[in-house]
Amino acid sequence: MLAQAEHDPDARARLLVPDSLMAEAVLSALDKRLSRLPSPDIARASLETGGLIIVYNTKEEAIKIANMIAPEHLELHVPSSGDWIPFLKNYGSLFIGLSSAEVLGDYSAGLNHVLPTSTSSRFSGGLSVRHFLKTLTSLRCKPCDTYTRALKAAETIALAEGLKAHAESAVIRLTDPVTGDSK
């Protein structure tokens, strides 16, 4: 928590623990370690305004909270972490187990450190080579039964959205361009 809190007074260090005894032990350890920092003011301000220790009741509740917080970094220190990982969906980088400290991701393990902040990991991941590639999409259709069904679905959706010209663009493709008869 201190490693995150020392970044900025606005940093948000959060911890989920299974019981209040652990929460109290962490609070005590934070207090002791905070006083040993060369400039504790930033970390103290961060912990006072945005630090949070949450006591959860079940694994499912902890996972739900973690996904809601959608942290930039998520350290997972639980027995049987494999039972948790498939359900954790919203984080920038996941650090699994006590030995996998987030500081390694910051400085020496080679993980990307350009990560989504402010809950944006709900819809985005970390910066990757894919962000520097241009994605081109294309569509090529041939008249057939599934093509006709796709046009009719597009017409229905366009009308539901109130976009008449879109619907007509689909309908016109359902008719013979010479005779105007339905295909």
Please identify every residue annotated as catalytic.
Answer: 72-73
Give the residue from 122, 104, 123, 106 showing the smallest Cα distance to 114.
106
Secondary structure string (H, E, C) spanning 91-140: CCEEEECCCCCHHHHHHCCCCCCCCCCCCHHHCCCCCCHHHHCCCCCCCC
Contacts (Cβ under 8 Å, ≥6 apart) of 45:
9
The CA–CA distances, whole Å, from 4 to 25, 61, 63, 123 equal 19, 23, 20, 22
